[in-house]
Amino acid sequence: MSLYYSLIFGILVLEIALFTLLALPIPTKFRKPLTLVLLKPFKNSNVQVAIKCILGFILLLFIDSINKVYNINKELAIDVAQGHQRIELLSRKFFQQRNLYLTGITLFLTFIVTKTFALVNELLNLKAKYRKEDHESEKELTKEELEILIKEKEDKIKDLKIRAEALEKDSKDL
C-alpha cells in the first residue's frame, strides 16, 4: 500500500476510534469533558482548513479509484482470452477496488462522525438546559404557598371522589 493510502487508513482508524467514543453510553459527567476535549482542536481555523484539504485529497483519490476500476473493467472485457495478462489485470483490479473502498468508507465515516458529534453536542446542551430549568422550578416555597397548594390539591381530590361516586352510582343504575 502506498504512503497516501496508508495515511488514509490511519485517518480511517482515527475516525473509527472517535465514533466509538461518541457512541459509547458514557455518563454525562464524563462525556461532557471528553466532548469538549475532542472539540477544542477542531475550533481552530487552521485545523479546519487542513481537514478540508485532506478531505479534498481523499475525494480526489476516491474519484481516481473509480476511474481506474472502470478502466480495468474495460480492459478485462477486451482481454478475456489471455491468461497471463488476466491475472495481472485481476490483481490490479483488486488493489484499485481496495483503494476505492478505503477512500469511500473514510469519506462516509467522516460525515457520520461529524453528524454524531453534532448530535452528542446538542444532547449535552439540551440536558444542561433541562437541568437548569429543573433547578429553577425547584425553588423553595414559603409556608403560606405550600398551604395554598395543599388546599388546592385536597379540593381537587374531593372533587374527583365526588365524580367517582357519581360514576359508580350511574353504572349501578344501568
Which pLDDT score, from 0 to 100, does residue 82 have?
65
Tell whether 69 and 133 lie within a shared domain: yes
Which pLDDT score, from 0 to 100, does residue 159 have?
94
Residues 79-113: pLDDT tens digits? 765 666 778 888 899 999 999 999 999 999 999 99
pLDDT along the chain (174 residues), means of 10: 90 94 88 86 89 94 95 82 74 93 95 91 89 70 83 94 89 78
Tell whether 52 and 104 lie within a shared domain: yes
How many residues in total does the chain contain?
174
Residues of the domain holding 46: 3-139
Distances (CA, A) of 105 to 81, 102, 145: 34, 6, 61
Tell whether 60 and 111 lie within a shared domain: yes
Tell whether 119 and 146 lie within a shared domain: no
**Cell triple for 84:** 497471463
Tell whether 133 and 165 lie within a shared domain: no
Tell whether 28 and 105 lie within a shared domain: yes
Number of domains in the chain: 2
- Report how far Cα 39 is from the mean position of its chain's Cα atoms: 14
Tell whether 159 and 101 lie within a shared domain: no
Which pLDDT score, from 0 to 100, does residue 87 have?
82
pTM of the model: 0.68
Tell whether 84 and 15 lie within a shared domain: yes
Tell whether 31 and 58 lie within a shared domain: yes
Which pLDDT score, from 0 to 100, does residue 84 have?
66
Tell whether 85 and 151 lie within a shared domain: no
Which pLDDT score, from 0 to 100, does residue 139 have?
65
